[in-house]
């Protein structure tokens, strides 16, 4: 926003200088009564002639002591003006006690009802300067915030008022923010202007929290500390000259809590989630457009990264692939170059996005760490690798507390020893502990779990024996058990 405003102010400044010069000349040349007569004559004459309407507007502006600064919602294609959003929030919260029209919405249950001013015009006073805001909507649906004030207040308004409004807006937004979950629309559905059509969103109301997340307590603590350090790290990142972003790679078998952890992170930080479906994006440039349209304080999530981008960096899935095969090799090469590639994604994360984005977390998930390109997992790119593994006894205790509200039970000992050599995902354990017909039955659920673990252990042993027989000399038995 500062660049847009800077440019506008530059043009504004030079126009003002010329106007002041003309005005001074005008003042000196004519006595007062003559000046008013000339002004009225000019205005009435000009306004009667429709084809000079625009010129007449300029003349009116020339005589008007008021200055207008516009903040459009979009600056050119795709370029969302974040100042607009902050101003909108500030004005929405401004003096709601005096407003006649209010809009109410429920944030999260814990945060109660939020009232917002719902009027197109708002008056404000700042350090004695009176200003008027008006939201104007053009015929094609674009909104602009117009700020009008007497030129006496120019210095205060441009020097500190606008900064104050934007900062207030951002801080109000952070306090009462509904967490949102954004998903990218397929680019074929983007409208002609791309305005507002890149992402669709819903309120994010996932109940996951770190408290209810079942994982090794030391690891959990480590992740939480890392998130806190990141959140409070604005000055630190500035000092070391690095973009304020952090990458997490969550890996582990299905049902071990990767998606749940993403939800817990978003709830903990109160960040929006942008869940990117790479297969709906055709080219690196589309990906760039999507990423630049994300806001600060957000998490960019790409789930199952190994399924979306293959080792050579070309996309795996998507109907584009079928079309390519039919159209021949040359065409295929051309297409590949313009597609979403791993290097395109990584370059963006390291480069442009870092330069323009602030306070962002990027999360990749995978079930197959071993399939990932080393470029993706090298240190410094994904800052923290977090393994979500099969249910340990520590993790089980968290689930037992969540689902059954128990800290101990005579069956805990047996469950502990079964979990040591049985691979069962927390999702499956949770399913056994879940109340049947909304009735919590601690003994029944735990017995059910024990039986299920015993069955699973037997299956896994039989499977290991089979594998061992098939590959004589192989070192399979017990090899994986040590890992989990």
Ligand X SMILES: Nc1ncnc2c1ncn2[C@@H]1O[C@H](COP(=O)(O)OP(=O)(O)OP(=O)(O)O)[C@@H](O)[C@H]1O
**Binding region for ligand X (CB under 6 A):** 213-215, 254-260, 367, 388, 426-427, 430
CB of 412 to ligand X, least distance (A): 18
Q: Which stretch binds Mg ion (CB under 5 A): 19-27, 75-83, 155-163, 258-266?
A: 258-266
- CA proximity to 324, closest of 316, 332, 334: 332
Measure CA of the first residue to CA of the last residue in the chain; give whole Å: 50
Looking at the Cβ atoms of 223 and 430, the one nearer to ligand X is 430
Looking at the Cβ atoms of 331 and 368, the one nearer to ligand X is 368
How many Cα atoms occupy the beta-carbon half-sphere of 351 within 13 Å?
8
List the single partner that 430 binds among Mg ion, ligand X, none, CB under 5 to 8 Å by kind: ligand X
Q: Which residue is nearest to Mg ion (CB)?
A: 259
CB of 347 to Mg ion, least distance (A): 26
Looking at the Cβ atoms of 215 and 299, the one nearer to ligand X is 215
Looking at the Cβ atoms of 94 and 258, the one nearer to Mg ion is 258
List the single partner that 215 binds among Mg ion, ligand X, none, CB under 5 to 8 Å by kind: ligand X
The residue count for binding Mg ion (CB under 5 A) is 2
CB of 298 to ligand X, least distance (A): 20
Looking at the Cβ atoms of 178 and 258, the one nearer to Mg ion is 258
CB of 355 to ligand X, least distance (A): 31
CB of 256 to ligand X, least distance (A): 4
Q: Which stretch binds Mg ion (CB under 5 A): 243-251, 253-261, 289-297, 355-363?
A: 253-261
Q: How many helices (H) and strands (E) does the chain have?
A: 20, 13
Looking at the Cβ atoms of 175 and 371, the one nearer to ligand X is 371
Place of tokens 């299920």: 452
Looking at the Cβ atoms of 86 and 453, the one nearer to ligand X is 453
CB of 367 to Mg ion, least distance (A): 9
Residues 212-251: x where in contact with Mg ion by CB under 5 A, - otherwise, as a string = ----------------------------------------
List the single partner that 254 binds among ligand X, Mg ion, none, CB under 5 to 8 Å by kind: ligand X
Q: Does 259 bind Mg ion (CB under 5 A)?
A: yes
Give CA–CA dist 416/404, Å, rounded. Answer: 17
Q: Which residue is nearest to ligand X (CB)?
A: 257
Looking at the Cβ atoms of 112 and 254, the one nearer to Mg ion is 254
Q: Does 256 bind Mg ion (CB under 5 A)?
A: no
The angle subtended at Cα 479 by Cα 475 and Cα 484, nearest 5°, is: 165
CB of 259 to ligand X, least distance (A): 3
Looking at the Cβ atoms of 86 and 213, the one nearer to ligand X is 213
Name the phi and psi angles at 203, rounded to 5.
-70, 140
Look up residue 398 and give its two tokens: 């968290």
CB of 388 to ligand X, least distance (A): 6
CB of 431 to ligand X, least distance (A): 8
Burial class (CB in 10 A: 0-12, 13-18, 19+), 99: middle
Burial class (CB in 10 A: 0-12, 13-18, 19+), 26: middle
Q: Does 260 bind Mg ion (CB under 5 A)?
A: no
- 340 touches 315 (CB < 8 A): yes
- 388 touches 256 (CB < 8 A): yes
> b/e for 242-270, b at 16 or more Cβ within 10 A?
ebbbbbbbbbbeebbbbbbbbbbbbbbbe
Number of Cβ atoms within 10 Å of the Cβ of 363: 26
161 vs 103, 131, 173, 295, 462, CA distance in Å?
A: 26, 10, 18, 23, 73
List the single partner that 92 binds among Mg ion, ligand X, none, CB under 5 to 8 Å by kind: none
191 vs 76, 339, 363, 414, CA distance in Å?
A: 14, 20, 28, 59
Which residues make up the interface to Mg ion (CB under 5 A)? 258-259
């Amino acid at each position: 926003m500062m660049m847009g405003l800077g440019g506008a102010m530059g043009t504004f400044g030079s126009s003002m200088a010329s106007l002041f010069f003309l005005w001074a000349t005008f003042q000196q040349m004519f006595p007062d009564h003559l000046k008013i007569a000339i002004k009225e004559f000019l205005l009435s004459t000009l306004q009667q002639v429709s084809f000079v309407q625009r010129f007449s507007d300029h003349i009116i502006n020339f005589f008007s002591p008021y200055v207008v600064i516009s903040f459009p919602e979009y600056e050119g294609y795709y370029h969302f003006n974040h100042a607009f959003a902050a101003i909108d929030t500030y004005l929405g919260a401004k003096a709601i006690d005096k407003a006649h029209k209010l809009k109410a919405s429920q944030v999260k249950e814990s945060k109660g009802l939020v009232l917002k001013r719902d009027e197109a015009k708002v008056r404000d006073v700042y350090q004695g300067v009176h200003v008027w805001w008006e939201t104007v909507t053009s015929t094609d649906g674009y909104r602009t915030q117009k700020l009008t004030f007497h030129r006496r207040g120019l210095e205060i308004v441009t020097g500190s008022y606008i900064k104050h409004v934007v900062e207030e807006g951002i801080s109000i937004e952070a306090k009462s923010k509904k967490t949102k979950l954004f998903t990218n629309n397929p680019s074929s559905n983007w409208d002609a202007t791309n305005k507002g059509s890149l992402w669709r969103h819903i309120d994010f109301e996932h109940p996951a929290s770190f408290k209810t997340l079942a994982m090794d307590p030391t690891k959990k603590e480590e992740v939480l500390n890392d998130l806190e350090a990141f959140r409070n790290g604005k000055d630190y990142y500035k000092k070391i000259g690095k973009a304020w972003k952090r990458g997490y790679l969550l890996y582990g078998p299905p049902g071990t809590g990767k998606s749940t952890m993403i939800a817990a992170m978003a709830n903990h930080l109160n960040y929006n989630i942008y869940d990117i479906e790479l297969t709906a994006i055709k080219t690196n440039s589309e990906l760039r457009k999507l990423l630049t349209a994300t806001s600060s304080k957000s998490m960019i999530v790409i789930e199952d990264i190994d399924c979306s981008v293959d080792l050579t960096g070309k996309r795996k899935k998507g109907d584009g692939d079928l079309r390519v095969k039919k159209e021949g090799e040359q065409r295929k090469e051309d297409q590949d170059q313009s597609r979403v590639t791993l290097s395109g994604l990584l370059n963006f994360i390291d480069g442009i996005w870092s330069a323009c984005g602030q306070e962002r977390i990027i999360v990749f998930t995978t079930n197959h760490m071993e399939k990932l390109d080393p470029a993706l997992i090298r240190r410094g790119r994904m800052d923290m690798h977090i393994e979500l593994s099969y249910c340990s006894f520590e993790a089980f205790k968290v689930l037992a507390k969540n689902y059954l509200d128990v800290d101990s039970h005579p069956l805990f000992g047996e469950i502990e020893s079964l979990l040591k050599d049985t691979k069962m995902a927390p999702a499956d354990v949770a399913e056994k502990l879940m109340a049947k017909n909304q009735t919590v039955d601690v003994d029944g659920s735990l017995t059910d779990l024990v039986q299920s673990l015993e069955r699973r252990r037997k299956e896994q042993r039989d499977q290991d024996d089979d594998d061992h027989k098939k590959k004589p000399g192989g070192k399979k038995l017990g090899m994986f058990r040590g890992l989990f």
